[in-house]
Amino acid sequence: MSSSCPSHLVDASGVRHHAYSRKQKSLGLLCTNFVSLYNRESVESISLDDAARRLGVERRRIYDIVNILAKVGLLSKNGKNACSWIGFSGIPKALERLEEEARRGISCHKGIYAKDDSDDESLDQYVDDGDERLSQTVSTTLSTAPFDKKISAKINRRAKSLGTLTENFIKLFLTSDGDTISLDAAARLLLGATTDASYMRTKVRRLYDIANVLSSIFLIEKTQLEARKPAFRWLGAKGKMEPSDAVTVAISPSPKKLNKRTFGTELTNVGLKRNKLNSAEGKKPMDVKMRSENLQEHSFIPQQQSASKNGYSFGPFHPVGVMKQTANSEVKSGKGIQQWENLAASFRPMYQNQALSELFSHYLEAWDSWYAEATKGRNVQQQFNKLVKKELL
């Protein structure tokens, strides 16, 4: 085990030193690695089990990522322990769908997450949550009341899911004129006027989860509206941002800043738990060990697959500073690819791992192609946007 962990973390006697780093274990980074692992042509079906093993994480984490990525069209879930990889080309379509739904007012911003643990009373607000089967069930059930508690529970559960939250979070952007939404506003809009602070806290946690993942695939970036007011900026594919909209946070990209929630030095998120655990602790020591070993065998260095479509990206909440300087109008208006490349180049050294740099350049290509696709012929209904805009910020 120790062999697959950074050596400075564990000494010869197996005692862990104080080197736990959250940054190396972030969902975003994991997502990045996930994408780098599977974003290639030869990949069709993904076993979640396998993914967990190869990435060296609990399967629980894979679920999180898969649920989010499925909503942006990178992959689709199909059945137990499996999903199929679609790739970046799937993003435009998924965004279109979300936008369309948003326009039709489905799962709108009016607090669809309003707390509702008890009854069926607010069921109708869940009816159209974008899941056809579920919607159908609900519709029929509604018309044939009395309403089944089980279905109600199911709907509640679904309505609170990471996936649904992801969808609605994205819809916020897609239906807004501005492209930056404060965390506050997002929470308010997504959760409705709940007074329950703990419920709010929970959902904000989820928002962070989602934001990390979306950041890692460059759909959004984290930014700041003002001091201590975190916000997210849509980088997607709308290409309608004016330079003047840009939230200007001129940050000189000092190395320190750049390291903020960005790159792990490892390709994997393997292994170490928070330091409250010592080597003897943990429920599944064997499991962890096995993962580590597996990682060594499997290290998903991109052998020499067809050198084109494969990709890689940097981590979550990535280059905040640099992004500020490049990711405004140019990026959005379609001539940004060049900028992305420059950006990428400037970050390349952050990867100690050579395989990663390699993957990284592949990723650029993938990005390039999906971006081109995404910006092509895309018409955002400004009208509707204006309506919604008022709600934001």
Q: What residues line the site for DNA (CB under 7 A)? A: 20-23, 25-28, 48-49, 57-61, 63, 66-67, 77, 79-82, 150, 153-154, 157-158, 160-163, 183, 198-199, 201-202, 204-206, 208-209, 211-212, 228, 230, 260-261, 269, 272-277, 282-283, 316-317
From the CB of 311, what's the least distance to DNA, in Å?
A: 21
Nearer to DNA, 21 or 369 (CB): 21
- Helix (H) / strand (E) element for 92: namely helix 91-103
Nearer to DNA, 138 or 237 (CB): 138
Cα separations (Å) of 210 from 49, 204, 219, 256? Answer: 21, 10, 11, 24
From the CB of 312, what's the least distance to DNA, in Å?
A: 19
CA distance 131 to 71: 11
From the CB of 100, what's the least distance to DNA, in Å?
A: 23
From the CB of 153, what's the least distance to DNA, in Å?
A: 5
Nearer to DNA, 206 or 332 (CB): 206
Nearer to DNA, 46 or 366 (CB): 46
Q: Where are the beta strands (DSSP E) in 49-120?
A: 75-77, 82-85
From the CB of 385, what's the least distance to DNA, in Å?
A: 26
From the CB of 257, what's the least distance to DNA, in Å?
A: 9
**Number of Cβ within a 10 Å radius of residue 310:** 25
Nearer to DNA, 97 or 154 (CB): 154
CA distance 172 to 194: 18
Q: Which residue in 6, 20, 21, 18 sits closest to 261, CA to CA?
A: 21
- Helix (H) / strand (E) element for 351: namely none
Q: Where are the beta strands (DSSP E) in the chain?
A: 45-47, 75-77, 82-85, 180-182, 220-226, 229-234
From the CB of 80, what's the least distance to DNA, in Å?
A: 4
CA distance 96 to 86: 16
Nearer to DNA, 8 or 228 (CB): 228
Nearer to DNA, 174 or 231 (CB): 231
Cβ 160 vs Cβ 61: under 8 Å: no
